[in-house]
């Protein structure tokens, strides 16, 4: 039996509704549906009609809906038609959160193969009284997951982060032997979910030139190096620490399968350097599949009609491949 993927709408004041409508406009897939506000999607759907889904039982009708050229949407609530684009709004934050929770619960119940998420806005979540800083933390809490991580994919480059949404000062304190060991496990798990049986894991240094033998910091000598050595005795193909200004280039050229970055921006900057069109965010360690676009709500262009759905298309394809590897979906 083939299970569909759910795409969550994201923040309705951002580009999520538009990129979803544009993606469906160029895709005839019969195994996808949207969770969000049907009217907000309809505002961008052009000639493609919206088919509101009456409930989970309507998922069986997705092939027919696709043949008729409509966009299936399972409602998680409604936004006021006058809600402005490009502005932080608690109502948009609340609906974005409710859409994510609905998708997670469907995945946990085995009703869908996984979820693909459009961007949310952290300040809108906060305005709605939701204290999670992002998708990753919402997913982990709802699924009861303790060990999880953010893995980014952009073409041949794959990156996983030791810490996620923290200040730089806090992130530096999170570089511990335990955190590195956990990240190595998640890196291997994430690569295997993508079909890489024995991934080559490279570890970026924390300091310039990976510390230069202790001249620029001793974290590589006292923490990172010993964690790598221990992981190698456990069968991980992990090496480093390498100077962070060259290791991502080496991975892009094929020398490594994934790079462990020590903090958020160290890993995100090389991923986004070539643009966001092909970037995909994967949450690893969860009992369910979740991929995401690798960009934000783009409030500066929201509602103007030229948002690019390319990253969403890539996220759908990665989720499809992961679901197929788990036996949740058929091969095309």
Q: Which residue has the higher pLDDT, 214 or 274?
A: 214
Please, which residues have CB within 8 angstroms of residue 39's CB and are 6 or more apart in sequence?
50, 78, 79, 81
pLDDT tens for each residue of 179-195: 999 999 999 999 998 88
- Which pLDDT score, from 0 to 100, does residue 185 have? 96
CA–CA distances in Å: residue 58 to residues 25, 55, 224, 305: 21, 6, 51, 30
Average pLDDT for residues 298-318, to the nearest whole number?
Answer: 93
Tell me the pairing of strands 201-204 and 157-161.
Answer: unpaired
Q: Is residue 223 over pLDDT 80? A: yes
pLDDT of amino acid 329: 61
Q: What is the pTM of this model?
A: 0.87
Q: So what's the pLDDT on residue 331?
A: 46
Q: Is the pLDDT of residue 41 over 80?
A: yes
Is residue 82 a contact partner of residue 45, using CB atoms and an 8 Å limit?
Answer: no
Mean pLDDT value of segment 101-122? 96
The answer to whether the beta carbons of residues 7 and 35 sit under 8 Å apart is yes
Q: Answer yes or no: is pLDDT of 153 > 80.
A: yes
Q: Would you give the distance in Å from CA 138 to the centre of its chain?
A: 12
Cis peptide bond N-terminal to 241, omega within 30? yes
pLDDT-derived band at 95, boundaries 50, 70, 90: very high
Per-residue model confidence (pLDDT) at position 264: 93
Percent of the chain with pLDDT over 70: 98
What pLDDT does residue 252 have?
Answer: 94
Q: What confidence tens digit (pLDDT) does each residue in 245-260 have?
A: 999 999 999 999 999 9
What's the mean pLDDT in 3-26? Answer: 94
Using the predicted structure, report yes or no on whether residue 28 has a pLDDT greater than 80.
Answer: no
The sheet with strand 149-154 has its strands ordered as 50-53, 71-75, 32-36, 5-8, 114-117, 290-293, 279-284, 149-154, 157-161, 258-261, 201-204, 238-242
For the segment 37-64, the average pLDDT, to the nearest whole number, is 90
Residue-range domains of the chain with CATH: 1-145+286-332 (3.40.718.10), 147-285 (3.40.718.10)
Q: What is the mean pLDDT of residues 167-187?
A: 95
Query: pLDDT at position 30, please?
Result: 86
- Among 139-143, 181-185, 211-215, the least confident range: 211-215
Q: What percent of the chain has pLDDT over 90?
A: 77
Q: Per-residue confidence at 111, pLDDT binned at 50, 70, 90?
A: very high
Please give the pLDDT value at position 195. Answer: 83
Question: Among 46-60, 62-76, 278-292, where is mean pLDDT lowest?
Answer: 46-60
Question: Average model confidence (pLDDT) for the chain?
Answer: 92
pLDDT at 332: 46
pLDDT, mean of residues 79-96: 97
């Amino acid at each position: 039996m083939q299970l569909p993927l759910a795409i969550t709408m994201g923040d309705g004041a951002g580009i999520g509704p538009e990129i979803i409508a544009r993606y469906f406009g160029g895709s005839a897939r019969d195994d996808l549906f949207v969770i969000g506000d049907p009217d907000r999607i309809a505002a961008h759907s052009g000639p493609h009609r919206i088919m509101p889904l009456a409930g989970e039982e309507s998922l069986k009708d997705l092939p027919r809906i696709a043949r008729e050229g409509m966009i299936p949407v399972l409602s998680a609530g409604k936004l006021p038609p006058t809600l402005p684009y490009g502005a932080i709004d608690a109502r948009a934050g609340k609906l974005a959160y409710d859409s994510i929770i609905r998708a997670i619960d469907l995945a946990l119940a085995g009703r869908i193969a996984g979820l693909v998420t459009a961007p949310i806005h952290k300040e809108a979540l906060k305005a709605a009284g939701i204290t999670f800083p992002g998708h990753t933390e919402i997913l982990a809490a709802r699924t009861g997951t303790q060990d999880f991580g953010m893995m980014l994919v952009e073409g041949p480059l794959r990156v996983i982060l030791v810490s996620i949404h923290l200040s730089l000062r806090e992130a530096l304190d999170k570089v511990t032997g335990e955190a590195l060991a956990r990240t190595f496990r998640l890196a291997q798990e994430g690569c295997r979910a993508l079909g890489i049986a024995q991934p080559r894991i490279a570890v970026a240094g924390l300091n310039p030139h990976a510390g230069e033998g202790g001249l620029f910091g001793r974290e590589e000598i006292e923490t990172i190096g010993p964690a790598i050595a221990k992981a190698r005795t456990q069968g991980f193909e992990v090496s480093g620490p390498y100077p962070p200004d060259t290791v991502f280039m080496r991975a892009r050229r094929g020398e490594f399968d994934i790079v462990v970055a020590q903090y958020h921006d160290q890993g995100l900057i090389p991923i986004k350097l070539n643009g966001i069109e092909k970037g995909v965010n994967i949450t690893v360690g969860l009992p369910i599949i979740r991929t995401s676009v690798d960009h934000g709500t783009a409030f500066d262009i929201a509602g103007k009609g030229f948002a690019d759905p390319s990253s969403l298309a890539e996220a759908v394809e990665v989720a499809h491949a992961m679901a197929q590897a788990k036996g949740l979906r058929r091969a095309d």
